[in-house]
Amino acid sequence: MTYWNPEIETMDLACLRQMQSERLVKLVHYVYENSPFYRKLFDDNKVKPSDIQSVDDLGKLPFTYKKDLRDTYPTGMFCVQNKDLVRIHASSGTTGKPTVVGYTKNDIDNWAESLARGFTSVGLGEDDIVQIGYGYGLFTGGLGTHYGSEKIGATTIPISSGNTERQLSLMEDLNVTAVLCTPSYFSYLIEVAEKTGKSMIHNKNLRIGIFGAEPWSESLRHRIEEKAGIKAYDVFGTSELSGPLFTECQAQHGMHIWADMFIMEILDPETLEPVLPGGTGELVVTTLLKEALPLIRYRVGDLASMETGVCSCGRTHPRLMRLKGRSDDMTIVRGINVFPGQVESVLVKIPEVSPHFMIIIDRNGELDDMKVQVELNDMASDKVEDYNRLRNRISHDLRSVLNLSADVELVNPGFIPRSEGKAKRVIDNRKY
């Protein structure tokens, strides 16, 4: 088994917990002394830095939210002066003000360190050629994975997103061994490759894909692995934390969360109490080493579960299991929670359709109507009876998973708009 930092990655659990306690105590004093925002937050909640003596006191600390980042836009939560910043990233701000995240040199180094551990855990190293299809610029995906790839000594191709034909050409011409992008975009790469008469398996060098930035199902993983002949790994991060940070290891059973850098909690969204081990709840993160923008008990919005036992790979750090979706991706239809990942999990099992779909929600009087547009592929029959049979099957399977009925519209290949970044899966036309 290969490790990037074996002493830390296989550290005894008791020693890890002690390290977390020491770093949490230091963090609480740091933010109180350097951030007017945190000082006021602590004072308003009647919490003093001296109240925090170990990780057992974590629950005494108040939560922080994305709203805090927007309310203090652009840099009101920062703990350092401009002269200490080496980089700034920002979200798109499509749902309001963007969230701005600053980084010191140590922040950048720790970000790369986190990904270096993850990339090593999936079998990447200095002999690999890594093609990065995440967007560069203010988006964190491209530069984050770029620095992690370079840190392990891999040859890094910063192609960014888009330009699909060139992506495929360089992948083959440069003997690329690993691709990083969104799972929906990689599915599109497979689709385009097949239209040229090739398959991803034609590229014998490609062996690893690291996919994230949007929820995806275990079924889609299997489909990608089968069609591309690779091992597909999950990666997780958010722009507020530092973009992509954690990956699965070769066991493919959860993404290792580096406990020397982060404390993860899984809380019941209603009671805000910890869920039972293995239970699903809202992900809450405390950053232990970030200098420019530390986050304390930050409510990420992802619904997740976590395993804390030692992994078969030998790493002792907890594992974040496949995300169930984001609370802000969730749509409520007729009182039932609907996640795009549930629809995807149905469609990837049906050979006559592609994994591209769109959920369209309208309101008819006082009632919600949900339609799911599903793309046919070349395996679909053009006979009317086969068309109706396929449509009924999809409708039945969706109803079994979602616990509500949906109108299914089968559309021609290419009808659903493709995205080079995060795929848009829901159009909600309801007026509230």
Q: Which amino acid is at 187?
A: S
Instruction: Please determine, for residue 419, whether its predicted confidence score (pLDDT) is greater than 80.
Output: no
Cα(234)–Cα(218) distance, integer angstroms:
10
- Do residue 65 and residue 129 come from a single domain? yes
Q: Which residues, 6 or more positions from 268, have their beta carbon under 8 angstroms from its beta carbon?
A: 274, 275, 281, 282
Determine the structural domain holding residue 360 and report its residue range.
331-428
For the chain, what is the mean pLDDT? 91
- In a 3-state reduction of DSSP, which class is residue 13? helix
**CB environment 295-316: b (16+ within 10 A), e (fewer):** bbbbbbbbbbbbeeeebebebb
Interval 170-216: pLDDT, tens: 999 999 999 999 888 898 899 889 888 888 877 889 999 999 887 78
Cis peptide bond upstream of 74, omega within 30: yes
Percent of the residues in the chain that have a pLDDT greater than 70, as a whole number: 95
The pair of structure tokens assigned to 348 is 């990837």
Q: Which amino acid is at 168?
A: L
- Do residue 206 and residue 303 come from a single domain? yes
Mean pLDDT of the 51-69 span: 96
**CB environment 225-256: b (16+ within 10 A), e (fewer):** eebbebbbbbbbbbbbbbbbbbbbbbebebbb
- Do residue 44 and residue 164 come from a single domain? yes
- Do residue 51 and residue 137 come from a single domain? yes
- Do residue 316 and residue 342 come from a single domain? no
Looking at residue 133, which CATH number applies to its domain?
3.40.50.12780
- Do residue 191 and residue 291 come from a single domain? yes
State the pLDDT confidence band at 4, using cuts at 50, 70 and 90. very high
- Do residue 301 and residue 366 come from a single domain? no
pLDDT for position 95: 47
- Do residue 243 and residue 365 come from a single domain? no
- Do residue 173 and residue 254 come from a single domain? yes
Measuring CA to CA, how many Å separate 207 from each of 72, 77, 121, 162, 279?
44, 41, 14, 21, 33
Interval 361-398: pLDDT, tens: 987 765 678 999 999 998 899 899 999 999 999 999 99
Mean pLDDT of the 229-243 span: 93
Interval 70-116: pLDDT, tens: 899 999 999 999 999 999 998 765 445 778 999 999 999 999 999 99
Instruction: Please determine, for residue 432, whether its predicted confidence score (pLDDT) is greater than 60.
Output: no
Percent of the residues in the chain that have a pLDDT greater than 90, as a whole number: 67
